[in-house]
Structure 1
């Protein structure tokens, strides 16, 4: 219960899934969610993009987001971002 109260604060919480390959070769997906306050969607978006960026950087590559799906618009509800991305060589 204490964690739920902390997540509902202005600071909020964010979590992400593991990166997984999609059925399209070379394309991956990761989802993130956040709760707490009006800007939860922004934290969910940033967390998903950050996970994608970290995944590609660990492979010496850079991220190219190909699609993003977002959900949740009401204050104090869970907001989510799902990002499809590819990793490309750095120039």
Structure 2
């Protein structure tokens, strides 16, 4: 019985460690000006798990928001392109945005 409990605890620890690795984190590119004046783009990606797209999406939106806020403005998302739909693959989000004055 004790050996079975040890085996089960090893499996549980391995599953938790794997799950933590799958959760991953998101990373983004630098904001880049597009060929349309006043329009910028930024891309983000995340790997693993069901919520990878949500992390990539959030990271891209945060980068756009922070970029505009550093200029005393607010962001306005024009277009978002997403990629990756399967678990354990890289999911991506690319947003084109503009910065507008705060009212």
Structure 1 runs, 4 residues or longer, greater than 3 Å off: 5-8
The structure that is strand-richer by fraction is: 1
Q: Does 1:72 align with 2:84?
A: yes
Q: What is the aligned partner in structure 2 of residue 58 from structure 1?
A: 70
Work out the number of aligned pairs and report it: 87
What's the TM-score once normalised by structure 1's chain length?
0.89
Q: RCO (CA 8 Å, sep 6+): is it higher in 1 or 2?
A: 1
Deviations 1:13-62 (A, max 9, x none): 21100000000000000000000201100000000000000000000000
Partners of 2:89 and 2:20 in 1: CA distance: 9
Larger Cα-atom Rg: 2
Flag structure 2 segments of 5+ consecutive residues without an equivalent. Answer: 1-16
What's the TM-score once normalised by structure 2's chain length?
0.79
RMSD: 1.8
Q: What is the aligned partner in structure 2 of residue 87 from structure 1?
A: 99
The structure that is helix-richer by fraction is: 2
Q: Does 1:26 align with 2:38?
A: yes
Deviation at 1:8, TM superposition (A): 7.0
